[in-house]
Amino acid sequence: MHLSMDLNSTINAGNHEIVITNDVNSLLKGFLNNPGSSFSSVFVISDENTNQQCLPLIKKSLPGFRNIVIGAGELNKNFHTCNVVWEQLLQAGADRKALVINLGGGMVSDLGGFAAATYKRGVRFVNIPTSLLGMVDASSGGKTGIDLNLYKNMVGLFAFPAIVMIDPVFLKTLPEKEWRNGVAEMLKHGIIADKKLWQSLSDEINNSSNATLDESSKNKFISLLLASVKVKADIVTKDPFELNERMYLNFGHTMGHALESYSLKNDDVPLTHGEAIAIGMICETLLSVKLCALPVEVMDEITATITTFFKQYRIPKNAYQEIIQLMKADKKSENNLMTFTLLKNLEAPVLQKGVAADLVLEALHFYNLLRK
């Protein structure tokens, strides 16, 4: 993949910096050699895939590091895997001046950040995201955690990385499905906070052949990295602990997380996080029309773009009630009542509490009717 754009930028996300660079090795060396850092030891947490494909790209900048390899995929984002990490840190003699580097996608940064933040009441950690999804979403913002019985992110805490280092060089290793996975979160950022980003993504999707992503489309998505990362960074800076505006980042996620959990349990090839969130955004635009007066033409615009870019998924009708129960168990729900981030318009998200189950059923059915 040829990268022609200069991506060197530093974004202040309040409690941490996000650095977008074309030279992660120089950035990493500078960070590790900073006289004020004084790390007693360095550990790299990677999964089976990033250990093979991404770690070799930064090994030369990590003299004397110790490697912790975990299983890949959301099914491994659990207490058992976290316990393995803690045990390996303990056995290696990691003290409170140790540094943990999380090298991977969102699963690695979520679990690795949680393990680091809780080991000996907290050691410093760095996130180096290797997936598009990790770069635009999971690696920054301080949310860490693990799943509990397939309920997403049920156990976790806010713990901020020392720094997030983003280098598109790692995207060369991504299969196409993972590109689409990340674009879902970029679309969400555009919808809730940046019309220009939304329009750029929508134009690229609707004007390209999406059967297979070509190099031109991938480079377009990379060129929009900064804008997407800034959306999340700006929101996190205003509301680091998700008391107000940060909840707007949950657009598509109440429905999406439930679908993702259902699919992990029931499908041979589960939905990716991005695929589930894409469905969630479609369903939640209908709720937005019903409850927040979102113009129908905006719903149609969002739906058309998402269905063009993502494969259609059949939600079994006999699964509707199970999916609703998963939504009621979502950590954002209160008193067993479902809470959604919905839209009044583009760039106008709103929090909606106590959404009725019959409307959610209608939204699920609405999505199924879109299948070709």
Asked if residue 6 has pLDDT above 60, the reply is no
Q: What is the CATH number of the domain that holds 131?
A: 3.40.50.1970
Phi (first) and psi of residue 343, to 5 degrees: -130, 135
C-alpha separations of 132 from 86, 104, 173, 179, 353 in Å: 27, 10, 11, 6, 31
228 and 333 in a single domain? The answer is: yes
The answer to the question of residue 293 being in a domain is: yes
In a domain, residue 3? The reply is no
Q: What are phi and psi of 39, to 5 degrees?
A: -80, 135
| Residue 2 forms part of a structural domain | no
279 token code pair: 């469905």
Are residues 135 and 18 both part of a single domain? yes
* Residue 111 amino acid letter: L
Residue 284 lies inside a defined structural domain of this protein: yes
- Residues facing 355 on adjacent strands: 338
Q: Kindly state the average pLDDT of the residues 228-236.
A: 96
Q: Among 66-80, 200-214, 279-293, whose mean pLDDT is lowest?
A: 200-214
Residue 2 has pLDDT above 60, yes or no: no
Least confident of 67-76, 168-177, 196-205, 329-338: 329-338
Q: What average pLDDT does range 223-231 have in this prediction?
A: 96
Of the candidates 141, 173, 205, which is a domain's last residue? 173
Instruction: Please tell me whether residues 213 and 360 are part of one structural domain.
Output: yes
Q: What is the pLDDT of residue 4?
A: 45
Assign 331 a pLDDT band (cuts: 50, 70, 90): low
What would the DSSP string read from start to end of 230-243? HHHHHHHHH-TTSS
Return the structure tokens found at 63.
């003299």
Domain that holds residue 244: 176-369
- Work out the average pLDDT over 2-9: 61
Q: Give which of 209, 312, 296, 198 is closest to 251, Cα–Cα.
A: 198
The better pLDDT of the pair 372, 211 is held by 211
Q: Does the residue 306 lie in any domain?
A: yes
Mean pLDDT of the chain: 93
What the block records as the tokens of 100 is 């943990």
Residue 1 lies inside a defined structural domain of this protein: no
Q: Which residue has the higher pLDDT, 1 or 242?
A: 242
User: Residue 24's pLDDT is what?
Assistant: 96
Q: What is the pTM of this model?
A: 0.94
Task: Tell me if 4 is assigned to some domain.
Answer: no
Token couple for 285? 């635009």
**Segments in 46-78 forming alpha helices (H):** 48-53, 55-58
One domain for residues 188 and 148: no
Share of the chain above pLDDT 90, in %: 88
Question: Where is average pLDDT lowest: 231-245, 286-300, 318-332?
Answer: 318-332
**Which H/E stretch holds residue 276?**
helix 273-292
Gyration radius of the chain over CA positions: 20
Q: What is the pLDDT of residue 7?
A: 67
Are 181 and 144 part of one and the same domain? no
pLDDT in tens, 93-112: 999 999 999 999 999 999 99
pLDDT band per the 50, 70, 90 thresholds, residue 150: confident
Please state the rounded mean pLDDT for residues 198-227.
93
- Which residue from 325, 316, 279, 220 is spatially nearest to 4, judged by alpha carbons? 220
Task: Say whether both 200 and 77 belong to one domain.
Answer: no
Residue 38 pLDDT: 86
Same domain, 65 and 134: yes
156 and 189: one domain?
no
Domain check: are 183 and 169 in the same one?
Answer: no
Q: Determine the average pLDDT of the residues in 299-319.
A: 96
Domain-terminating residue out of 115, 148, 173: 173
Residues 246 and 354 both lie in one domain: yes
Evaluate if residue 57 carries a pLDDT over 90. Answer: yes
What secondary structure does DSSP assign to 127-176, as a single string? EEE-SHHIIIIITSSSEEEEEETTEEEEEEEE---SEEEE-GGGGGG--H
- pLDDT score of 248 more than 50: yes
Are residue 116 and residue 231 in the same domain, yes or no? no
Q: Residue 337 belongs to a domain with what CATH number?
A: 1.20.1090.10
> From its phi and psi, is residue 347 left (phi > 0), alpha (psi between -120 and 50) or beta?
left
Number of structural domains the chain divides into: 2
Q: Give residue for tokens 């995207």.
A: 171
Q: Decide which of 115, 149, 173 is a domain's last residue.
A: 173
**Same domain for 219 and 334?**
yes
